[in-house]
Amino acid sequence: MHWNKSECCTKYTYSLFQRLSRYHLDGRYQIDNNLVNDIRPLALGQKNYLFCGNHDAAENAAIMYSLLGCCKACDVNPREWLTDVLSRIPAYNNDYGLVLAELLPHN
Give the residue numbers spanning the domain of 53. Answer: 5-103
pLDDT digits (tens, 9 = 90+) for 81-107: 999 998 988 887 777 777 888 888 888
The structural domain count of the chain equals: 1
Write phi, then psi, for 16 (nearest 5 degrees).
-100, 5
pLDDT at 3: 56
Residue 2 — very low, low, confident or very high, per pLDDT cuts 50/70/90? Answer: low
Q: Are 73 and 59 in contact (CB under 8 A)?
A: no
pLDDT digits (tens, 9 = 90+) for 9-50: 778 878 878 777 777 777 777 777 676 676 676 677 667 767
Q: CA 43, CA 49: separation in Å to the nearest integer?
A: 10
